[in-house]
């Protein structure tokens, strides 16, 4: 059951994560990065690498949240 599409810019990753009822640590563990990486992406400190972006969108999709990364990061998918 999907709960919608979330356009993602740094700080909106937090909304996607929260929509999936995940802590930063849980999301980080599920995609193999540190919770600091998740925090930095959410705060717009760093832009996710292509591989990380793909892992994030896949993880969110598996949990019913479609993430539109083309809105924020162009054609990097």
Q: How far apart are CA 46 and CA 43, in angstroms?
A: 8
Look at residue 74 in the predicted model and tell me its pLDDT: 47
Kindly report, residue by residue over 13-68, the tens digit of the pLDDT. 888 999 999 999 999 999 999 999 999 988 888 888 889 999 998 999 999 998 77
List, as one string, the DSSP characters of 30-51. HHTS-HHHHHHHHTTSSPPPHH
Of 38, 42, 21, nearest in space to 29 by CA = 38
Look at residue 72 in the predicted model and tell me its pLDDT: 52
Of 59, 32, 33, 62, nearest in space to 46 by CA = 33
């Amino acid at each position: 059951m999907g709960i919608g599409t979330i356009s993602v810019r740094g700080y909106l990753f937090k909304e996607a994560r929260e929509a999936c009822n995940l802590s930063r640590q849980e999301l980080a563990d599920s995609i193999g990065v540190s919770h600091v990486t998740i925090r930095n992406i959410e705060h717009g400190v760093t832009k996710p690498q292509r591989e990380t972006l793909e892992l994030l969108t896949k993880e969110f999709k598996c949990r019913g949240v479609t993430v539109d990364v083309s809105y924020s990061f162009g054609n990097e998918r």
